[in-house]
Chains A and B, each alone.
Chain A
Amino acid sequence: MTDVLAVADHRRGELRDVSYELVTAGRELADVTGGNLHLAIISGPVDDFAEKANREGVDAIHTVSHGEEFNHDVYTQAITQLYDAIAPQYVLAPNSVNGLDYAPAVADELDLPIVTDAVGLEADGQTLIANREMYGGKVETTVEVDAESALVTIRSAEWPTAEGTGDAEIEAFDVEIDEDAIGSSVTGFEEVGGGDVDISEADVLVSIGRGIEEEENLDIIRELADALDATLSSSRPIVDNGWLPKNRQVGQSGKVVTPDVYIAIGISGAVQHVAGMKGSDTIVAINTDPNAPIMDIADYAIHDDLFDVVPALTEQFQ
């Protein structure tokens, strides 16, 4: 048991970037365990995906052509059968929404310990050491996995994408999918968050988070946005509360934005928020907490109360 099995991530006909990052993470582990890196590609146009994912470092690609879209039962059955056939030491999956819809079930079926949302991995052949965050990114931890074999989901954008062309053998894996055990079916997809404004087009975003406390207080943020001729956006809780429409949400499940200036006000900088705005040119954070994770990616910061700073800033432009 020295091999590593990584599972590619794709959605609606597109291979997602984390698939190439899984190749990098998997190669690094396989170099330590001294085994091969296997890549599983399940459902969708598998041959097309296999060709794309065949990058440097992959030793073998196993395709499972079954259905167009993701189904967690198909994934769970395919991966457990691959596990039995390959007997890998470690299984790597993406910490995506779909990854979290099958990885815990695979771990349970195979009786493997599961570590989710890893941002770093080290192995010495015996023990697996994973780095992961706790308390919304305020601290990082080291977790030791004391088991022969384990399943890990990795956070996206933490490992570089694998490049180059690989010479992995591509083989259709012969699975037996038990159709009776499939208890869910996808009936469609919907794009949400359309409407009048497209925050991804804005040059300047004034973005507000839970620090605003009450819906009425949003007025001071609106006034600032008006004074700056900027567009108003927000973190998730503001949209969850119904204070702003979904098309204003920045982040993993909202929009990805890349403005010239992003002003994050009362936003802690959770990973799912940062995923949507880290590409901004200049990031300014206004937050009372000097340890808030947003400070790690901010270019400029004010460690102070937004209720003092925001009106003072608005005044500067009136």
Chain B
Amino acid sequence: MSNGLCVLVPVTEVATVEDEFEIEGTAIADQYLGADLNEWDDYAVEEAVQLQEAGLADEVVTVTIGPEDCEQTIRQALAKGADRAIRVWDDALEGVDLLDVGAKTELLKAVVEAEEPDLVLSGVQSGDDSFGATGVSLASAVDFQWGAVVNGLEHDLEDGVASVRRELEGGVEELTDIDLPAVLTIQTGINEPRYASLRGIRQAQRKDLDVQTLADLGVDASAVEGDLELSEMYEPETESDVTVWEGGADDTAGQLAELLREKGVAQ
């Protein structure tokens, strides 16, 4: 079958932070950081793989802007069923401490132009920088249609139209028809992301992971310089006057029980 869709999934590796951490300059000190596949992108990969399993998509390709360290995270997406991966990196990106939406858009745009997907499934947001903007920005840059915060996609895509649900505030969902090609930013809960099987993990090792530099993509270094500079990072000031109960679980539970009784709970 060759008339199925090509689906591109921009996948980002997010930095996770331990409970106790220290800030050094404008970053969290390395020893407190871990890495994970972005939660929202996990759902986007799953949605793409399900489209393929339903016979609607021919190929699922992931694209990640990130250094070599990300490859483990990329293999995770491959193990869940993506066919191949592209990783974009360049010395020019090494010194950038906050890759802004404009810069990400330039890089992803070059990949979209090379791959010519029919559908791009990004996440709503990256869990660490949380711009929540890259998908829609990319759509505009490549002249695709789009839908932000999609928590339902009908798997028929007939006549080149995607029928989606956009999750608005307060439990209201908007039903929208969107012309393809399109970028949809995928919200958690749209599906149930699978765990990679052992077989999937083995196969992932053999799948193509193609590394592209700015020159390979024909993107000028000036395009990724960005206009945002991270100038400070600090722990948020709190106006909180929280009472913290100390002691073992029996003690603290006892104190809470006392409070609840005072408030008339369970009486």
Contacts and interface: CB of A to CB of B under 8 A. Distances in A.
8 interchain residue pairs of minimum CB distance: A312-B253, A240-B189, A308-B249, A113-B227, A142-B232, A183-B145, A316-B257, A104-B137
Contacts of B232: 141-142
Of A108, A285, A313, most buried by chain B (CB within 10 Å of CB) is: A108
A266 to B, nearest CB: 13
A96 B165 CA distance: 16
Contacts of B227: 113, 145-147, 150
Given A104-B140, A139-B28, A284-B259, A183 B178 contact: yes
B169 A295 contact: no
B253 A113 contact: no
Q: How large is the interface on B (under 10, 10 to 19, 20 to 34, 35 or more residues)?
A: 35 or more
- If over half of B's interface residues share one DSSP class (helix, strand or loop), that class is named, otherwise mixed; here it is mixed
Contacts of B136: 72, 100-105
Given A100-B136, A142-B232, 17 more contacts: A11-B168, A104-B137, A113-B227, A116-B130, A135-B15, A140-B236, A185-B177, A186-B176, A188-B175, A190-B172, A204-B265, A261-B260, A284-B259, A288-B19, A292-B19, A298-B242, A304-B249
A136 B127 contact: yes
B235 interface: yes
Given A228-B260, A240-B188, A240-B189, A97 B175 contact: no
B189 A97 contact: no
25 contacts: A12-B172, A100-B132, A100-B136, A100-B148, A108-B102, A114-B100, A117-B131, A133-B236, A134-B129, A139-B236, A140-B235, A143-B228, A143-B231, A146-B229, A187-B163, A189-B175, A191-B171, A192-B172, A229-B266, A261-B265, A288-B19, A291-B19, A296-B239, A312-B252, A316-B254
B229 A108 contact: no
A300 B242 contact: yes
Nearest to A229: B266
A138 B17 contact: yes
Contacts of A184: 145-147, 176-179
A193 interface: yes
A1 interface: no
A141 B163 CA distance: 38
Q: How large is the interface on A (under 10, 10 to 19, 20 to 34, 35 or more residues)?
A: 35 or more
Contacts of A292: 19
A141 B233 contact: yes
Interface in B230-255: 230-236, 238-240, 242-245, 248-250, 252-254
B236 to A, nearest CB: 4
A39 to B, nearest CB: 21
Of B167, B176, B188, B235, most buried by chain A (CB within 10 Å of CB) is: B176
Nearest to A261: B263
A209 to B, nearest CB: 14
A306 B46 CA distance: 31
- If over half of A's interface residues share one DSSP class (helix, strand or loop), that class is named, otherwise mixed; here it is mixed
Given A100-B133, A104-B134, A309-B253, A185 B98 contact: no
A27 interface: no
A137 B236 CA distance: 8
Contacts of B19: 288-292
B171 A254 contact: yes
Contacts of B188: 236-237, 240
A144 B229 contact: yes
Contacts of A228: 260, 265-266
B84 interface: no
Contacts of A227: 266
A140 B149 contact: no
Nearest to B177: A185
Given A134-B129, A242-B192, A299-B242, A101 B167 contact: no
A318 to B, nearest CB: 10
A104 B265 contact: no
Contacts of A100: 132-133, 136, 148-149
B240 A133 contact: no
Contacts of B265: 204, 228-230, 261
A12 B249 CA distance: 48
B129 A301 contact: no
A297 interface: yes
Contacts of B226: 113
Interface string B181-205: 0100000110010000000000000
A108 B175 contact: no
Interface string A87-103: 00000000111101111
A21 B156 CA distance: 41
A298 B240 contact: yes
Interface in A271-318: 282, 284-285, 288-293, 295-305, 308-309, 312-313, 315-317
Given A97-B149, A116-B132, A239-B189, A108 B137 contact: yes
